[in-house]
Each structure stands twice: as C-alpha cells, then as structure tokens.
Structure 1
Amino acid sequence: MSNNNLTNININENNLIKNQYAISLLKECMDCKVINEREVYNIQQEISLILIDLIKKYTNGQSTSVKTEVAEKLLLSIWYSIDAYVSKLENIEKRVAELTSKNIKYVYLEGIKILEYDLLELEKFYEVMKIRKLDTNLMAYNDTLMELSGFFKNYSIKFEAYDIPVSIDYPLALDDMDIQGIYYVKNYIESMDIENRFCNLFRNKDREKLFYDYGRTYKIDCDVILINLFELIINNSIFSTILGNESTNLKISEYEYEFLEKQFKNIYNHTFEDEIKQYEENNVVEFIEESNSFDFNNSEELNKESIINEKIVLLLEEAIAVLIERLNIEDEAMIKYIKAYEKIFIESVLSSIKSGTFKSIITVSKNESEPLEKYIVDDENKLDDKSFRAIFNAVLESTSIIEKIKIIKENINAKKDFIDILESECLFGDDYLMLFASLSEFELAILGSVVFYEDMRMEEINLLELLLNKNNKTTPWKREYIEFMKKKNKEKIHCIEEYINQIN
C-alpha cells in the first residue's frame, strides 16, 4: 500500500455499493491514491488463486475449470465473504486499512467464519420469531415462514453466498432489496418479527375482522392475496387515533371515514370549517385544530402546497407519536421501524388526497351479513363493442392492479364479456391472481366450466384430479386459473367442483 496517511483520505461513501462493498471501496481507494494500479493487480491475482482453489472444491478435485456462469457465481461468493469481513469493521479508515494491507485470503477466510457464525445465530433467532408468528390463514405469510426454514438447509456460503435458495413471497412494509444472501434474509426475518410483535398488540379477532373487511372492500379472497398485515393494521390504528378512538380499535365506520376524508380535503384545499363535528373523546378536534394553526401570512417564503403538506405531515406525525405512547411501545427497534414506515405512510396519504384515492389508505368496517355481489352471471347485460373497447383500453393503460380489478368488477356483468376480457390479454402475471381472488366460488365455477369444457361434456368432473393432470398448453388466462386453483384448499376445490357439476 502507498504511504498515504489513512487519516487524511477522502473516501466518498456515497459511491460505495452495498452489494459490491469491497470492490467499490477499492475503486475509491484508487481514486484517492491510497493504492496504485500495481497493488490492485496483486489483489486481483490473490482473488484468482482463491477462485482456482474454490473451483477444485466445487468439482471435488476433478477440475480447475468450470463454465463461465459457475465461475461468476463462485467469484461473487468470494467477494460476498470479503464484504462480510470488511463491512463489520467499525469505521471507514479501518476498512480501508484491512482491505489494502492484509492478505486478501486472510480477509476472505475471516469472512467465511463470520458468515458461518451469522447463519447459526440467524437460525436461532428464526426459531424465536416463529413462536411470535401471527395466527392467520394468509397463504403467502404461512408459506414464506415454512420456506425460510429451508434457507438454513440449502444456503451455500462458499459457492452461492449471495443467493437466496428459497421463495419469499410475503411482502414486508419495509424491505431492503439492495442486500443479498444471508443478510437479506436476516433483515427480512428481523423485520417480520417486528411486524409480528406490533400486530400482536391487537386482538386476533380484531385483526381477522380487519382482514375480512379488506377482502369485502376489494372483493378479494384474502387468503391468497399478497398483502402486508402490519400495513393494514397500523394504517387503521393511526386513523383510529386521530378519530379519538382507542388506538387498538381497528374498526372505522363509513361515517368516520367520510369525516376523515372531509377534514383532510379541507386542509388540502385550505377551506377549514369554523366548527368541527364532535366525537366521543374529541381527540380528533385537537389534532385537526392544531393542524389549522398555521399563519399563511407569515410563511411567504413557502409556496401554498408546501404549507398544506406540512400541516398534514405534522398531523400524522403527532398521531403516530400518540399511537406509540398509547400502545406502550418502548422497544427501540419497533419504534425505529414505525418511524421508517411513517415516511412511506405520510407520502401515501399526501398522494392519495391529491389524487382523490384517500379511501385506499383506510379499511372501512363492513357488515358481516352483507351479501356477496354476483358480477359475471347475467349475459343480458352484455356490452356493445364500443363500451367493451373503452373498458379494455382503461384496463390496459392502468398501472394499478387494484384499479384494474375495480374497472372490471364495476363495468362487466356478463359472462361473455368477462371471458373476452381474459382472452384479450390486457392482464399480466399477478393481475390474474388478484382478479381470481376477487371472485366468489360460484363465479370461479363459471370460469372453471369454460376451462374444463371438454372434460365436462360427458360426465361430472373430479376437479382436484383435473388440476393435477391438466395440460398447461392452453391460453394464458386458463393457465393462470389452473395455477390459482391449485393453491386453494381441498374444501374450496370441492365446493367449486359441485358448482361446476351443477352448471354442467
């Protein structure tokens, strides 16, 4: 290494990349003249020797060469281990010193030790996290928990350290996609545990009712949809706090929603009312009035939108602070997580008010006896070509899955139109899952009667057997329907099978 004084180096940490930490740090060291090209070449030579040794282990001593893609994987794993060692050091000066002055093989082997230790510790924590898991029927949540156990059996530190050899489908409220391998899984498990512990502050029956209400709102079978439970719960809890209800009360009535929407719109449009309708505990009045205390005349340097946004931001920040206090949350990790989510939540609220989609932020409580609507039964309501084309274009142009489903469910009532929309290929990937999840069992049976038309021409069908043996060489929507149905439990499959046979 050059004789430069490490205390005087000027590394720009903004140029350091999480997934390529050591490599990006070496580049910065070159730019700052901490090391020269010759020293970088020596490091590259050392890495090559480590790679040759790793290839021998990979091939069980049979060869010193492998396919290019395999060599790339092994090389990424070497650097991942080096990153594990370097990034654990306490400051940038020490990281530079270790990376540029130590034998790279030593750094690599120390990194392997760190990864092995971290894997053991993470598995212990995973077992603790499972004890605190939520009691829910949400398939993505339960399947992901099971999948994570396979990570500890299948993770390869030496050969695929950056990889995640399991499927993680359940979405977190906060997910750092800039990290890979064990450290992604570590961050995921720790975040999931925080979300679990927060959600467990609320009664299970209240959580399930909220989940049920969400499903009724969007006409979705929530057991199969990708939705974050923490997000649903904390959103309603924040607004419940603003309304003056108990923070653990997750129910928000249609009337309460309308009140909230009106007040937020008033703030946004700067048309405040002299009197605010009183609620039982009246905390809402304090929140709203405090947000109205700005003096526009004394804020000339700010534009109107900035001031309005600041009013709403202060209102929501205060509500979240009160929520944390009322729920007696003292866990620093949980508070930090909530504060990080606060930024996303506030941006979503501001955006929803501006776009007129405020209702998407809140789950309104539904009457459990409210009947399910039927959408795709009455072929007397078939659309004319012009109307159908307008709906097709609206679905195709929309970038929101929820909006796409809403357009279809509100405008299409005829089976023929519904099939035509599916055949027109204006839906993609998860759009199908979301749409099928929004249908009743009877409606799924109607689609099933189309998918399995040839099979049911002569006799009653065994739906479970058909799902397992059906040839997937068919249209995209039918393939998606089959894959969706495979994820249903046996009871629901049997119920839909009975409907299909009745239709037959």
Structure 2
Amino acid sequence: MANIEKQHIINSHNLSGEFYFNSILQEAYICGLLNESDLENIQLQCISLLAYKSERYNMGESSSIRVETAESIMKSNLYSIGVYLKSIPDPDYAAFELKTVKISELYERGRKLVNTKFQIAKRIYNMVQKNKLDTLNHSYNSTLSENGIGIFFKLYNLEYEAHDSPASIDYQLCNPVNDLAGIEFIQKYLENLYLENEFCKKFATENIHHLLYGYDKSYPELLINIFEHVLTAALGCSLANRNIVELNITGEDIQYLYKKLRKYDHHTLMLTINYATNHIYEELNLTNPLLQEYIERSLPKIVTNIEIALKLNTLSKVFITPQNPVLEPKIHFESSIKMDDEDYRKLIEELIRCRYSSDKLTLIKDKVKSFDDLEDILLDAQLEEEEFILLFSTLEDVEIAAMIKRHPFESDIQAVDLSEAEQVVRLYLENYMKQLSPNRQEKILQIAKHLVWD
C-alpha cells in the first residue's frame, strides 16, 4: 500500500491568546502552510503598514518617530490583525488568509472587531455597575470606580495602542484572565466579574459581610475574592445540610464535615462537591448556563483547598464561621481632656532639650494625663526607640491596645498614607510588642479587637 503523506494542521493549543499573530505565523511556518517567501512578504507588508500608521500618528508632518512609539504602533497593528485571525474558527484557514489577503485589509477587519469589542465591553461595564456588590472591600470598590477599570474607556487607544489595557485593576477574580491583552482582557475580566456578582447577589449583603468578617476582620483592606468565599460557604452549608442562603456554618458543622470528608478520596470528594453544587443551583434557582459553567470552573480550586485543609486539620480556614461585629463584646475607651496648646508646646520644647531619657520619662509622667496628649508626644517629641520602649513599658495593657488600634502594624496597606512620624510610632510599637511574652501579646491584641472609642 502506498505511503500517504500525513497532512500538517495547526494545533490550536500551541497558539498564544495574547500574541496570536506571532504564534499563528510561527505555527503555520512549522506546519508548512507558509514558506520563507510568504514570511518575507508578510513582514514587508507589516513594515509598510507601520510606515503608514506612523505617518498618520505624526499627522503627516514628519517621517521620524520615537523607537518606543514605533514599537507600540507595531504591537497594536499585530494585535488588531490577531483579533481578526482569532475570530476565524479554523486556524488553518486563518493561515491561508495571512498568505492570500493583504495585511492592510486584515488590519482593517481586525480594527473593526476591536471597536466592536470595545462597545461590548462598555455595555458589560455598565451591567457590572448595576449588579455591583455593596461591600467594604477596597480593592473591589476601587477597581469598579471611574478611576479603576472605568478609566479604560476614556484612555483606550484602539488606533495606536490596541494591545494595551490602561486601567487600574486590583481586584482578583476567582478565575483569573490569562493569555489575553487589550480589549480582549478587559472584556473577559468584566464578563467574569459580572457572573461573580450575579452569584453573590443571591445572598444578603449582611450575610456576606458577616462571612468575610469571620474570615478576617481586616477584609476591607485585603486582596480577596468575594465570590470564592461565598461559593465555598454555600458549598459548606449544602454539605452540612444548612440553609444555603444564610451562609451560616458553625464550628460543630465543621467538625462534622471533617469527620465525613476525610474518608473520601479525590474522586469521591469531587462527586460530593458536584452534588452539593447542583443542590445550590436548585436552592438559588440558578439556570444561567454561563454562570453554572463559571462556578464549575471554580470547583477544582476549592476542592484543592478542602483537601489540603483535611490533611492539616484546618478545615475551619476553608469553611468560615460568620461573625457579626455588632454582637462582639466591646471595651469602651475614653481619653481625658487634652492639655492647653501653649502648655503642650512648652512641654515639647522641654522634652527636646532634655539630654537624659530618665528626665524625659519623668516629665511625661508628671505632665501628661491624657491618652491623646501621650499619642501626640510620641509623634512630636523626637524620642529615640529606647525611649519609646521605656514609655510603652509604663502603660497598661488597655493603653497599649489603644495605641495599636490607633497605629495598627499588621497591614502594609494601612501605612501607605502615613507620615514619617506615624510610621516611626508604628514600627517602635511593633518592636515593643515583639519583646512581650506570647500570652501578653495575645491578651493585648484581643483587647484591641474589642476596643471602641467613647
């Protein structure tokens, strides 16, 4: 039987979503769909297109252009062509068009598609604004603001920087958008965020707040994904036969789940999670296939988290018990009246003139009777670290806790806008705490958690 030469076709898995033009050019050449002459012809046409676009960029006034600008325009051109080629279902036919259609024509087709995607993304952004969650999380709110992803629709330049995404996006999706750039990245990010919002809108804002507060009291400042926490909590409620909508799972429920789930292998656990997911669909009346598909793409990550937690006996870190901050016990703290401004100024001058730490400490003990004045002294008196430590050592636990409440040192985000003096107080307070016994540290931190100002 005669040998039949096997036909070479492009493997779509080898193509880059972000750099589609370059990757399909390379794969088409490797597979024999394009030859050296084709590559040279395509390259010359790309250079000709760049020259034309550069002249338009300069409005015909000059032929010279910065290297960085030329590189950006070339990337933009190839990105737009790639968007069109990607729209062709068969990559082999896309390679055929590369060979037979003028690059300038492919660019115009791609540019029209980029513009269409821009308009679609704008509509999705408006949809996301309408189903936006009411949350305290800063990264979520800032990303959805006009200065976050909203600025993209004011700054995007599809003519010369189509490959770029000029936006401030801090909020992390459960399923990150990878291997995309420009308008394709923005459109996909917004599509995913819209679906995440749709799911979370099935739950009361208060219940989500209590869930995230149970995860971490500082959740407003954390780079977390709300959807992942809500979906995980809903799965936990389903597995524990709890009301899914309430997102409320207890410590006893978590112990029950640990005893139940630790016996399962990966396959059985996955089947159990899938069953719980279908139960969620029924309880919440989730019929949107796109949302169901998104949820199911999120499950492997959650299952991995559960498996790790089962091995480490830390399931309570995955299935969170909600906490209502309003119901937490409160320790009320009140500072006495501050001293007169003139008296305070004289005290600061006297402290700065003092040579000995013992004299400074005596002055502060004698004249400072208000916590607010003491805090001001720490900021204004230019004390050395050992003097800070000596002063801290004279304070009661509740006063140290109040200092920590005013100058928290657990989150770097909180320090972004601090003055140099505030950063010094924060650093020396942290150093002082590290010198204390673990038990006393824990006691002070617990006081700080429940401290409220009168």
Given the two structures, how large is their TM-score scaled by the length of structure 1? 0.64
Name the aligned partner's letter for residue 60 of structure 1: M
SS in 2 for 1:122: helix
Aligned to 1:53: 52
Tell whether 2:221 aligns with 1:224.
yes
Aligned to 1:378: none
Aligned to 1:243: 240
Aligned to 1:487: none
Deviation (angstroms), 1:69: 2.6
Tell whether 2:320 aligns with 1:350.
no
User: For 1:113 and 1:186, how far apart are their aligned partners in 2?
Assistant: 16
Tell whether 2:21 aligns with 1:22.
yes
Tell whether 2:401 aligns with 1:443.
no
User: For 1:56 and 1:171, how far apart are their aligned partners in 2?
Assistant: 40
| Contact 2:175–2:298 under 8 Å retained in 1 | yes
Aligned to 1:43: 42
Tell whether 2:292 aligns with 1:335.
yes
Deviation (angstroms), 1:467: 5.0
Aligned to 1:313: 270
The structure having more radius of gyration, on CA atoms, is 2
Deviation (angstroms), 1:441: 7.0
User: For 1:75 and 1:360, how far apart are their aligned partners in 2?
Assistant: 48
Residues 350-388 of structure 1: per-residue CA shift (max 9 Å, x gap): 122223332221111336433479xxxxxxxxxxxxxxx
User: For 1:318 and 1:133, how far apart are their aligned partners in 2?
Assistant: 29
Aligned to 2:321: 364
| Contact 2:14–2:23 under 8 Å retained in 1 | yes
Deviation (angstroms), 1:201: 0.8
User: For 2:270 and 2:196, how far apart are their aligned partners in 1?
Assistant: 23
| Contact 1:238–1:320 under 8 Å retained in 2 | yes
| Contact 2:210–2:324 under 8 Å retained in 1 | no
Aligned to 2:260: 263
Name the aligned partner's letter for residue 445 of structure 1: R
Deviation (angstroms), 1:127: 1.1
Any gaps of 5 or more consecutive residues in structure 1? 1-6, 269-307, 374-415, 421-438, 449-463, 482-495
Residues 32-61 of structure 1: per-residue CA shift (max 9 Å, x gap): 221210110010001001111222233333
Name the aligned partner's letter for residue 155 of structure 1: Y
SS in 2 for 1:156: coil
SS in 1 for 2:144: helix
| Contact 1:83–1:111 under 8 Å retained in 2 | yes
| Contact 2:120–2:187 under 8 Å retained in 1 | no
Deviation (angstroms), 1:62: 3.7
Name the aligned partner's letter for residue 363 of structure 1: I
Residues 444 and 180 (structure 1), Cα distance of their counterparts in 2 relative to 1, 3 Å cut: farther
Tell whether 2:170 aligns with 1:213.
no
Matches for 1:151-170 after TM superposition, within 5 Å: 151-170=152-171
Aligned to 1:408: none
User: For 1:16 and 1:360, how far apart are their aligned partners in 2?
Assistant: 39
Aligned to 1:171: 172
Aligned to 2:440: none
| Contact 2:174–2:298 under 8 Å retained in 1 | yes
User: For 1:239 and 1:206, how far apart are their aligned partners in 2?
Assistant: 15
Aligned to 2:84: 85
Name the aligned partner's letter for residue 65 of structure 1: S
| Contact 1:151–1:165 under 8 Å retained in 2 | yes
Percentage identity across paired residues of the two chains: 26
Quote the RMSD (CA, aligned, Å): 3.3
User: For 2:407 and 2:150, how far apart are their aligned partners in 1?
Assistant: 38
Name the aligned partner's letter for residue 231 of structure 1: E
Residues 200 and 440 (structure 1), Cα distance of their counterparts in 2 relative to 1, 3 Å cut: farther
Residues 71 and 356 (structure 1), Cα distance of their counterparts in 2 relative to 1, 3 Å cut: farther
Residues 175 and 447 (structure 1), Cα distance of their counterparts in 2 relative to 1, 3 Å cut: closer
Residues 310 and 366 (structure 1), Cα distance of their counterparts in 2 relative to 1, 3 Å cut: same
SS in 2 for 1:130: helix
Aligned to 2:341: none
Matches for 1:103-252 after TM superposition, within 5 Å: 103-146=102-145, 147-215=148-216, 220-252=217-249
| Contact 1:55–1:63 under 8 Å retained in 2 | no
Deviation (angstroms), 1:129: 1.9
Deviation (angstroms), 1:447: 5.6
Name the aligned partner's letter for residue 68 of structure 1: V
Name the aligned partner's letter for residue 115 of structure 1: V
Residues 467 and 87 (structure 1), Cα distance of their counterparts in 2 relative to 1, 3 Å cut: closer
SS in 1 for 2:132: coil
SS in 1 for 2:219: coil
Number of equivalenced pairs: 355
Tell whether 2:9 aligns with 1:10.
yes
Aligned to 1:401: none
User: For 1:95 and 1:209, how far apart are their aligned partners in 2?
Assistant: 52
Residues 179 and 467 (structure 1), Cα distance of their counterparts in 2 relative to 1, 3 Å cut: closer
Any gaps of 5 or more consecutive residues in structure 2? 1-5, 332-384, 390-399, 410-414, 431-447
| Contact 1:254–1:365 under 8 Å retained in 2 | no
Matches for 1:94-109 after TM superposition, within 5 Å: 94-109=93-108
Residues 41 and 444 (structure 1), Cα distance of their counterparts in 2 relative to 1, 3 Å cut: farther
User: For 1:76 and 1:441, how far apart are their aligned partners in 2?
Assistant: 55
